[in-house]
Amino acid sequence: NSTKYQYDLVVIGGGSGGLAAAKEAVELGAKVAVFDYVTPSPRGSKWGLGGTCVNVGCIPKKLMHQAALLGEAIHEAAAFGWQIPGEPKSIINDWDSLKNAVQNHIKSVNWVTRVELRNKNVDYINGNGYFKDNHTVVGVMKNGDEKVVTADKIIIAVGGRPRYPDIPGALEYGITSDDIFSLDHAPGKTLIVGAGYIGLECAGFLNGLGYDATIMVRSIVLRGFDQQMANLVAEEMEQRGVHFIYQAKPKAVKKQDDGRLMVHWVDKNGEMHQDIYDTILFAIGREALTVQLKPENAGVQILQENKKIFAENEQTNVSNIFAVGDVLHKRPELTPVAIHAGKLLARRLFGNSVEQMDYTNVATTVFSPLEYGCVGMGEEDAITHYGKENIEVYHAFYKPTEFFIPQKNMSHCYVKVIALNNADERIVGMHFIGPHAGEVIQGFSAAIKCKLTFPILKSTVGIHPTSAEEFTRVFITKSSGMDPTPQS
Ligand code: FAD
Ligand code: NA7
């Protein structure tokens, strides 16, 4: 332990990445403090320790997605012989119960997290941290007091918060993912602005819960993802009743006398439109919380374009200051990425490890009503990277067994495998749309790490009857022009 400073390590930000790094460092004998502070959202939402994922991200999102899937299951159950008392409702009766159940789960996680830090002897400081110099962090506490600590090493893990568009009424009347999971009234007819994965997921569960949901798309759906898959996800959502307004930008939000919101928007031809909603949710991307850190006091450089930090091997331009998680430039904004990078960084700093984080081939899933999981490259990226002539795309539409009896729409259940067409036929991308996509794709991401090739995939015996087995059966190449729809 260094004696020059109070702590060996101070972590600013108690979310996925920061907590993982802090817990690992303390296990390795370091003296550690974590600052975590949540500035209330413009609508006043606030939450406890644990960061975005636990409080306003992955966890509440997955729970609301699950609530929506259950609504779907109730309707299907009758086809399987279940007698459901009364008419199945097409809208959730009780938003409050759902919201409270979700919030209670979150509060229990907040509490467990605090206890865990205490048990591990990590000092938790509920203060808004900023740099005084490259070894000193000041935390502004709720009552305005300042707590000053010094540390040998500092990790920035402050994550980000949703952005608002710069249009009249947006900040005043709009909400974001920071508010939806704790909303104290049912959202009603909702406009979701932004067609990234957060926008799609929110629209998907709101529609599944029975609320009228519309997505306003500025350009394309799911930028950065394989566009064929993205469009299949959107088509399926549209068939389930989500409305899409394409090529449009919001211009103003006004509150009417009856409390509802009038949204004005402009289409690609410059024509103005308007409609009335109960809720408007902005999901137009997130902003890293770096400026508030006063990084200039420590000499830490942030990128002008997006306020993120470029940190090769998680080390910033200041040698004793590091960064993990969503604040990192050009790294996937995902919880397991932040956790893994945080752990490995702590092991390098305090445990003589040399293992670096591998940010390639990280699997992810969009929890849209029909889920989309993928690992590796999309078709467009593979073509750009390897050239169209050097890849082969295998694909198939398929029919999940559990969809037959309730006669669910199967037209968007689809798998795609992208492989190199050289000697070893290494697989560079796998894409799956269907039920439980995350569960399906996780194992394949380990296979890709083991350099999975197309012949090995073909020689893998499937598990019948599952949707995942479709990956082992895929044989139709796009270049053959053969019909990829099931022939039986
Ligand atoms: P965070 O978890 O955001 O933690 C940062 C913490 O630092 C916060 O508590 C913040 O309040 C605090 N803080 C900020 N500034 C300061 C300061 N100056 N002083 C003290 N404390 C400060 N990822 C997935 O892998 N799967 C998903 O399904 C998924 N779904 C998501 C759904 C939504 C709606 C959202 C918004 C995100 C989702 N994510 C998902 C992304 C995931 O939540 C993030 O990638 C992850 O939380 C990033 O972790 P982090 O440690 O970088 O930051
Ligand atoms: P993303 O993935 O950055 O997507 C933002 C979406 O919002 C995207 O469809 C954008 O369209 C759209 N957008 C951005 N700015 C505007 C404005 N001003 N008006 C209308 N629409 C806009 O953000 P998410 O919130 O889904 O996710 C945030 C991150 O969390 C994401 O990077 C994940 O990795 C984790 P565009 O395609 O730019 O035209």
Average pLDDT over residues 346-372: 98
The DSSP symbol for 240 reads T
What's the CA-to-centroid distance between 472 and ligand 1, angstroms?
36
Which residue blocks in 403-468 are alpha helix, DSSP H?
Answer: 437-449, 454-459
Contact 393, 478 (CB under 8 A): yes
- Other C-beta atoms closer than 10 Å to the C-beta of 14 total 28
Among all ligands shown, which has an atom nearest to the Cα of 155?
1
Determine the atom of ligand 1 nearest the C-alpha atom of 336: 25
Q: Among this protein's residues, is 464 annotated catalytic?
A: yes
Q: What is the pLDDT of residues 295-339, one digit of tens each?
A: 999 999 999 999 999 999 999 999 999 999 999 999 999 999 999
Element (H, E) at 103: helix 95-119
Longest dimension (CA), the chain: 73
pLDDT for position 64: 98
Q: Is the peptide bond before 336 cis (omega within 30 degrees of 0)?
A: no
Q: Cβ(329) to ligand 2 under 6 A?
A: no
- Check pLDDT > 70 for residue 212: yes
Contact 340, 395 (CB under 8 A): no
Distance CA 81, CA 71 (A): 17
- Check pLDDT > 60 for residue 154: yes
What's the CA-to-centroid distance between 87 and ligand 2, angstroms?
39
Q: What is the pLDDT of residues 64-75, one digit of tens each?
A: 999 999 999 999
Q: Cβ(333) to ligand 2 under 6 A?
A: yes
Q: What is the pLDDT of residues 76-107, one digit of tens each?
A: 999 999 988 887 777 888 999 999 999 999 99
pLDDT for position 86: 81
Average pLDDT over residues 275-300: 98
Ligand 1, CB within 6 Å, residue ranges = 12-18, 35-38, 51-53, 56-58, 61, 128-129, 157-159, 177, 198, 289, 292-293, 325-326, 333-336, 338
Which residues, other chains included, contact 158 with Cβ-Cβ below 8 Å and sequence gap of 6+? 12, 13, 15, 18, 288, 289, 290, 292, 293, 327
What's the CA-to-centroid distance between 456 and ligand 1, angstroms?
37
pLDDT for position 92: 80
Among all ligands shown, which has an atom nearest to the Cα of 250?
2
Average pLDDT over residues 146-168: 98
Q: Cβ(193) to ligand 2 under 6 A?
A: yes
Q: Are strands 279-282 and 286-288 parallel, antiparallel or unpaired?
A: unpaired
C-alpha angle 149-155-159 in degrees, rounded to nearest 5: 110
Residue type at 19 in one-letter notation: L
Phi, psi of 203 (to 5 degrees): -60, -40
Among all ligands shown, which has an atom nearest to the Cα of 14?
1
Distance CA 356, CA 376 (A): 19
Average pLDDT over residues 40-62: 98
Tokens of 2: 């260094």
The model's confidence at residue 132, banded by pLDDT at 50, 70 and 90, is very high
CB-based burial label for 456 (10 Å; 0-12, 13-18, 19+): middle
Contact 199, 193 (CB under 8 A): yes
Nearest CA to ligand 2 atom 25: 285
What's the CA-to-centroid distance between 283 and ligand 2, angstroms?
6
Q: What is the pLDDT of residues 247-266, one digit of tens each?
A: 999 999 999 999 999 999 99
Q: Cβ(286) to ligand 2 under 6 A?
A: yes
Tokens of 339: 């956790």
Distance CA 192, CA 242 (A): 10
* DSSP-derived 3-state class of residue 323: strand
Nearest CA to ligand 2 atom 18: 165
Contact 281, 263 (CB under 8 A): no
Distance CA 60, CA 51 (A): 12
Contact 396, 470 (CB under 8 A): yes
Determine the atom of ligand 1 nearest the C-alpha atom of 50: 9
Q: How far is CA 74 from CA 97, 369, 406, 413, in A?
A: 18, 15, 11, 21
- Other C-beta atoms closer than 10 Å to the C-beta of 24 total 23
Chain centroid, CA 196 distance in Å: 10
pLDDT for position 2: 52
Mean pLDDT rounded to a whole number for the chain = 97
- Check pLDDT > 90 for residue 276: yes
Phi, psi of 355 (to 5 degrees): -70, 130
Which residues, other chains included, contact 395 with Cβ-Cβ below 8 Å and sequence gap of 6+? 414, 415, 416, 417, 474, 476, 478, 484
Facing residues of 125 across strands? Answer: 35
Average pLDDT over residues 283-299: 98
Match 């945080």 to its residue by tokens.
Answer: 342
